[in-house]
Amino acid sequence: ETGVTQSPTHLIKTRGQQVTLRCSSQSGHNTVSWYQQALGQGPQFIFQYYREEENGRGNFPPRFSGLQFPNYSSELNVNALELDDSALYLCASSLEGNQPQHFGDGTRLSIL
């Protein structure tokens, strides 16, 4: 069983640029959730995609957007990058309901 994989593992961008992060779900999982983890903090929920539709959003501005594809893989897009966007971005896949979420090891994004 293949786990959740994220790419790239590390990324450096400058303010104002745009970035796309990718996530490959665990086989059979139809739900993908994205989280942002600042240094020393717990992960914060950005949004979730369920069967290719956004299914809940946390307190993040519209410049954070996403997609889920028919194979349930997903992208997180961030426009107009700001210094505070520097963080670890985590993707988690799961089945619906109260099933455990399975996390990738994240993409470390640094904004200069």
Please, which residue, 17 or 44, has the CB nearer to another protein?
Answer: 44
Answer yes or no whether residue 41 interacts with another protein by CB under 8 A: yes
What is the C-alpha separation between 94 and 45, in angstroms, rounded?
A: 15
By CB under 8 A, residue 59 contacts another protein: no
Contact 111, 13 (CB under 8 A): yes
28 binds another protein (CB under 8 A): no
Q: By CB under 8 A, is residue 60 in contact with another protein? A: no
Which residues between 72 and 91 bind another protein (CB under 8 A)?
90
Residue 106 binds another protein (CB under 8 A): yes
Residues near 97 by beta carbon (within 8 Å), at least 6 away in sequence = none
Q: Take residue 55 and report the two structure tokens written for it.
A: 């299914």
Residue 42 binds another protein, judged by CB under 8 A: yes
Whether the CB-CB separation of 90 and 34 falls below 8 Å is answered with yes
